[in-house]
C-alpha cells in the first residue's frame, strides 16, 4: 500500500524512460527561463544555506544547485521515491525524502529552509488543493526565506509551423487530446500562485512568464520531449482500457505522424510562469 494517494501516477509513468525525459525537460525549461533561481531569490543563497525542493522527481534542481554550492544542505521531497536516482549517485549534500504537499508538514520541518523551490507539481494537484499546498510549504521557510515556484500553462499548449512547409496536424491532435483530458489539473496552478502565496503570508510576491521555445535551439527537443510525455499518457490509458482512450494501433499511427510533424519544423509553445515571495523577517 502506498503511504499517500498518488494522484500523479493516475496519468503519468514512473520509470527510467520518464526519469530521463524529466531530466531533459528540466534542462530545456531552465534554458528558456534563463535562471535556476531568480536573482532576488538567489540573494538568499549562502555557502551553508538549507534548500528544500518539493515534488523533486529526479532531483534535477538539487543536482544542478549542488554543482555550484557544494556545502549547502539540499533536501528533496516527493510523494513517491520511484523517480529518485540511487543515493550513491547523488552529490553528497543532497538527500531525498517522502512528503505529500497536500498534507500538513511535520512540525519539526517548520522554519528549516532558506529557500523552498517547486517546479511542475500541477499534474498531482486538484483545483481545490493549491491553497493548502502553498500554505503548508510556506511553513518550511525560515523568517526572511524565499519560495520560488514554476508551473507551465499546459492548458494552452499550441503546436505551430516553424517553417513554410511544416505540418502540424498530428502533433496538434495529440496536444488537444491531452489538454482536454488533463484540463481539470492544468487549468489551475500557475494562475493561483501569486494569490495563494500572499494569503499564506508571503511578502514581496512577484511573477513573470516566458514562452517555452523562446530559445530557438531548444524548440525541437522541447517539442519531442513533450510529445514523449503525451504518447506515454496515451499508451498508459490504452493499455488500461480507460473509457475514450485510443486503441494502441491508432496511438502508434498518430505518434509516427506527430514525429514527422516535428521533423518538418512543427514546434510547441506555452507559457512558463515563475512566482516567488518571501517569508517576512
Ligand atoms: C512533472 S514531475 C516534476 C519533477 C521535478 N520537479 C522537475 O521539474 O523535473 C512532478 C513530480 O511531482 C510529484 N508530486 C505529485 N504530487 C505530489 C504531492 N502531492 N506531493 C509531493 N510531490 C508530488 C510527482 O511524484 C513527480 O515526481
Mean pLDDT of all residues belonging to the chain: 94
**Mutate-to-test residue for ligand 1 from 19, 20, 61, 78, highest number of ligand atoms within 8 A of CB:** 78
In Å, what is the CA distance from 4 to each residue of 7, 101, 271?
9, 10, 30
pLDDT at position 2 is 47
Residue 122 CA to ligand 1 centre (angstroms): 8
How many whole angstroms separate alpha carbon 238 and alpha carbon 86?
A: 31
- Phi first, then psi, for residue 14 (nearest 5°) are -135, 90
Find the residues whose C-beta lies inside 6 A of ligand 1. Answer: 8, 22, 26, 54-57, 60, 78-80, 83, 99-102, 119-121, 123-124
Q: How far is the CA of 169 from the centre of ligand 1 (A)?
A: 30
- Mean pLDDT of the 122-139 span: 94
- What pLDDT, on a 0 to 100 scale, did the predictor assign at position 270? 96
| pLDDT band at residue 275 using 50, 70 and 90 as cut-offs | very high
**Chosen CATH of 7-278 out of 1.10.10.10, 3.30.559.10, 3.40.190.10, 3.40.50.150:** 3.40.50.150
Q: What is the pLDDT of residue 14?
A: 75
- pLDDT higher than 90, residue 71: yes
How many other CB atoms are found less than 10 A from the CB of residue 75? 23
Name residue 271's beta-bridge partners: 211
Q: Residue 138 is inside which H or E element, if any? A: helix 130-138
For the chain, what are the domain ranges? Answer: 7-278
**Angle CA(171)–CA(176)–CA(177) in degrees, nearest 5?**
100
Has residue 138 got a pLDDT over 60? yes
52-56, 123-127, 208-212, 222-226: least confident range: 123-127
pLDDT of 1 higher than 70:
no
Q: Measured between alpha carbons, how far is 135 from 202 in angstroms, rounded to an integer?
A: 9
pLDDT at site 6: 62
Q: 72: helix, coil or strand?
A: coil
Task: Kindly report each contact of residues 184-188 with a partner whose C-beta sits within 8 Å and lies 24 or more positions away, as own/partner.
Answer: 184/126, 184/127, 185/11, 185/122, 185/123, 185/124, 185/125, 185/126, 186/122, 186/123, 186/153, 186/154, 186/155, 187/127, 187/155, 188/122, 188/125, 188/126, 188/127, 188/130
Q: What is the mean pLDDT of residues 118-130?
A: 93
- 111 contacts: CB under 8 Å, gap ≥ 6: 139, 140, 141, 142, 143
Residue with the three cell numbers 514546434: 267
pLDDT at 166 over 90: yes
Q: Which residue has the higher pLDDT, 18 or 69?
A: 69
- d(CA 212, CA 43) in angstroms, rounded, equals 26
pLDDT tens string 209-255: 999 989 999 999 999 999 999 999 999 889 988 888 899 999 999 99
DSSP secondary structure of 36-51? SS-HHHHTT--TT-EE
Mean pLDDT of 271-276: 98
Instruction: For residues 199-212, give the mean pLDDT.
Output: 98
Mean predicted confidence (pLDDT) in 8-24: 82
Q: Checking DSSP bridges between strand 73-78 and strand 271-278, what pairing results, if any?
A: unpaired
Confidence of residue 184 (pLDDT cuts 50, 70, 90): confident
- Model pLDDT, residue 3: 54
Residue 7's pLDDT is: 64
Amino acid at each position: 500500500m502506498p503511504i499517500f494517494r498518488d494522484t500523479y501516477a493516475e496519468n503519468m509513468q514512473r520509470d527510467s524512460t520518464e526519469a530521463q525525459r524529466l531530466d531533459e525537460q528540466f534542462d530545456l525549461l531552465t534554458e528558456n527561463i534563463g535562471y535556476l533561481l531568480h536573482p532576488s531569490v538567489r540573494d538568499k543563497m549562502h555557502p551553508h544555506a538549507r534548500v528544500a525542493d518539493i515534488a523533486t522527481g529526479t532531483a534535477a534542481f538539487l543536482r544542478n544547485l549542488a554543482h555550484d554550492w557544494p556545502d549547502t544542505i539540499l533536501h528533496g521531497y516527493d510523494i513517491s521515491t520511484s523517480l529518485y536516482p540511487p543515493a550513491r549517485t547523488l552529490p553528497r549534500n543532497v538527500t531525498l525524502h517522502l512528503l505529500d504537499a497536500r498534507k500538513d508538514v511535520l512540525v519539526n520541518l517548520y522554519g528549516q529552509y532558506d529557500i523552498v523551490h517547486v517546479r511542475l507539481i500541477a499534474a498531482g494537484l486538484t483545483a481545490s488543493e493549491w491553497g493548502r499546498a502553498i500554505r503548508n510549504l510556506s511553513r518550511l521557510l525560515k523568517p526572511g526565506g524565499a519560495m520560488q515556484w514554476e508551473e507551465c500553462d499546459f492548458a494552452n499548449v499550441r503546436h505551430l509551423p516553424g517553417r513554410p512547409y511544416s505540418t502540424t496536424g498530428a502533433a496538434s491532435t495529440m496536444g488537444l487530446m491531452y489538454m482536454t483530458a488533463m484540463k481539470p489539473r492544468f487549468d489551475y496552478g500557475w494562475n493561483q500562485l501569486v494569490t495563494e502565496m500572499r494569503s499564506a503570508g508571503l511578502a514581496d510576491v512577484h511573477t513573470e512568464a516566458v514562452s517555452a521555445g523562446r530559445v530557438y535551439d531548444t524548440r525541437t527537443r522541447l517539442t519531442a520531449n513533450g510529445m514523449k510525455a503525451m504518447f506515454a499518457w496515451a499508451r498508459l490509458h490504452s493499455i488500461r482500457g480507460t473509457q475514450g482512450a485510443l486503441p494502441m494501433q491508432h496511438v502508434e499511427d498518430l505518434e509516427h505522424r506527430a514525429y514527422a510533424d516535428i521533423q518538418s519544423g512543427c514546434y510547441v509553445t506555452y507559457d512558463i510562469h515563475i512566482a516567488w515571495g518571501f517569508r517576512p523577517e
